[in-house]
Amino acid sequence: MSKAHYDALEALLPDGFTRFRGVAEGEASEGNPDGEVNADDYPFIVLGGNLGRDSTEAMNGDPDTREMRFRITYSGLTFDSVLIVLEAVRTALNGKKLVVQGWSSGILRQEELLDIRADRDVTIPGIGLHPQFAVDEFTLVSAR
């Protein structure tokens, strides 16, 4: 069931940016056997989050409410490129509703989790830069 919510969220993401689910992985090739993300993949979005928390107030105990927490990591070569991706995604998602069969969606609400900062654990092959990144969380409550 959670997959349908992730699919619906991803359908709202703006075009023009590389997207990953869960973890950023590049294409393995002869020159890149480990499939590292390279400079051509930037800027990109990583979609992650929780599995959804089901709850109910119904007497029979059947879940009728799901709370989702989607995490979006924005990554770019520069501070400004992170801002460009962040603004496009926030505009596309904040205050919007997901269309998921069998569910009535509340609106997505955005919260900032991490400010823009350098990822010192990653060095971009070929150019030696540390990419910049930031993280937002979008919460959603939907009901049956």
For 72-91, write each residue's pLDDT tens digit: 999 999 999 999 999 999 99
Q: Any idea which fold 2-143 has?
A: STM4215-like (3.30.2000)
43 phi-psi bin (left φ>0, alpha ψ -120 to 50, beta other): beta
Amino acid at 122: V
Which helix (H) or strand (E) segment is 81 a member of? helix 79-93
Q: Is the pLDDT of residue 106 over 80?
A: yes
Distance CA 31, CA 42 (A): 18
Rounded to whole angstroms, the Cα distance separating 8 from 101 reads 10
Q: What pLDDT does residue 94 have?
A: 97
What is d(CA 24, CA 46) in angstroms, rounded to the nearest whole number?
6
Confidence of residue 1 (pLDDT cuts 50, 70, 90): low
pLDDT of the residue at 28:
46
Radius of gyration of the chain (CA): 17
Q: How far apart are CA 138 and CA 57, in angstroms?
A: 24
Mean pLDDT of 110-116: 96
Span 65-77, pLDDT tens digits: 889 999 999 999 9
Q: Which one is predicted more confidently, 74 or 53?
A: 74
More confident: 127 or 97: 97
What pLDDT does residue 75 have? 96
- 7's enclosing H/E stretch is helix 2-12
What is the token pair recorded at 18?
């590389």
pTM for this model (two decimals): 0.86
Average pLDDT value for residue range 103-112: 95
